[in-house]
Amino acid sequence: MQETNEKTAAMIEHLAAVNKILEKYNCDESKLIPILQEVQEEYKYLSKDVISYVATSLDIPPAKVYGVATFYAHFALEPKGKYVFKLCDGTACHVKKSHSILHALYDRLGLSDDKQTTDDLMFTVETVSCLGACGLAPVMLVNEDVYGQVKPEEAVAIIDDILAKAAAAE
Partner 1 sequence: MSINKEIIVNGITVAFDNERNLLEVIRKAGIEIPTFCYHSELSIYGACRLCVVEVEGRGVMATCSTKPEPGMVIHTDTKQIRSIRKINIELLLANHDRECPSCVRSANCTLQDLARRLGVEEVRYKQLEEREEIDHSSPSLTRDPNKCVLCGDCVRVCDEVQGIGAIDFIGRGANAKVAPAFDQDLSSVECVNCGQCAAVCPTGAIIPKQDRNDVWDLLHDDSKIVVAQVAPAVRVGLGEHFGFEPGENTAGQLVNALKMMGFDYVFDTSFAADMTIFEEATEFLDRLGGSAPLPMFTSCCPAWVKFAEIYFPELLPNLSSCKSPQQMFGSVAKKVLPAKLNADKKDIVVVSIMPCTAKKYEATLDKFKHEDIPEVDKVLTTVEVGRMINSAGIKFDELDPEAFDMPLGFSTGAGVIFGATGGVMEAALRFAYEKVEGKTIKQLEFKEVRGLDAVKEATVNVGGTDLKVAVVYGLKKAKELAEKIRAGEADYHFVEVMACPGGCIAGAGQPITHDIEVRKERAKGLYTADKRMQLHKSQDNYMVQECYNECMGGEAGSHEAHHTLHTNYQNRCQIFDARVPVLKGDADKLLPIIVTICTKQENDPGQKLLALIVDYVKNNNLADKVEIEAAFTSRPSADGTIAVTVGSQTVERSKFKNAINTEEELANNAEFAKIKEAIDKELA
* Strands laid side by side in the 145-147 sheet: 123-128, 83-88, 140-142, 145-147
What one-character DSSP code corresponds to residue 125? E
Q: Please state, in angstroms and rounded to a whole number, the distance separating the CA atoms of residues 86 and 109.
A: 15
Residue 37 or 47: the one with the smaller Cβ distance to partner 1 is: 47
Of 127, 131, 73, 74, the C-alpha closest to 98 is 127
CB of 25 to partner 1, least distance (A): 14
Residues in contact with partner 1 by CB under 8 A are 1-5, 7-8, 11-12, 15-16, 19, 22, 48-53, 55-57, 60-67, 70-71
Q: Are 80 and 117 in contact (CB under 8 A)?
A: yes
CB of 127 to partner 1, least distance (A): 16
Residue 64 or 97: the one with the smaller Cβ distance to partner 1 is: 64
Residue 75 or 123: the one with the smaller Cβ distance to partner 1 is: 75
* Local structure of 26: helix, strand or coil: coil
CB of 165 to partner 1, least distance (A): 34
Residue 62 or 142: the one with the smaller Cβ distance to partner 1 is: 62
